[in-house]
Homo-oligomer: A and B are copies of this chain.
Amino acid sequence: MKKQGMLMIISGPSGTGKGTVVKELVEKQQQFALSVSATTRSPRHNEIDGVHYYFYTREVFEKMKNENQLLEWAEFCGNYYGTPKEYVEQQMAEGKNVILEIEVQGALQIKKIYKDCILVFMIPPSAKELKKRLTERATEDEQTIQRRINRAIEEMEFVPQYDYIVINDTVCCAVNAICDIVKVEGMKSSRNINIKKQFKGEITSC
């Protein structure tokens, strides 16, 4: 039987570069799988069902919600977004570490159910760097940037409820940090409760 994978949730201010880190992790490290979210919004150009999102009707989404088939869900601008439980649990059963990139409220919702999921808060190396990254995107006006910065300050209030803080200085360092966290979490005694029994069994037979 394969050892159960772990569930890791990554949150952090917009502009931190979480998406790039997660993409690199999933592409380069076979042990990770990215959770695919579900939404009721229409697919955009090039978006593939089951890859970028699971695209559901409101009826289907609401049925899943009511039948407890979502790890977390929220409604934004009239559309539902959520994390289907089945895919996550299936990947974990196959020994994959599943990564969810979601915002603070959803993360804390999941932590209530999965006590041993790992909450990672990713931040840029400095506030100055965050401002620089948001400005360099050049897709947003000054007002939107300021709103994102204010939101970042609000989100930082939740840091104490997260397990780890990863500083995204370079993508490579952040990827390594996450791999280290998974490795060390795997050594936790709470994740190795069988060792005691196994050792006792072995010792009596040798």
Contacts and interface: CB of A to CB of B under 8 A. Distances in A.
A4 to B, nearest CB: 16
Nearest to A166: B187
Identical chains bound together, number: 2
Given A163-B189, A189-B163, A123 B203 contact: no
Interface stretch (A64-72, A77-85, A175-183): A175-183
Contacts of A50: none
A121 B180 CA distance: 19
Nearest to A119: B189
A200 B165 CA distance: 16
A153 B206 contact: no
A51 interface: no
A6 to B, nearest CB: 13
A25 B203 CA distance: 29
Contact of A203 (B149, B160, B177, B193): B149
Contacts of A159: 189, 192, 195-196
A134 to B, nearest CB: 12
Contacts of A149: 203
Interface in A164-190: 164-166, 177, 180-181, 183-185, 187-190
B160 A206 contact: no
Contacts of A41: none
A153 B201 CA distance: 10
A162 interface: yes
Given A187-B165, A189-B164, A189-B165, A123 B199 contact: yes
A123 B198 CA distance: 12
A165 to B, nearest CB: 5
A182 B131 CA distance: 31
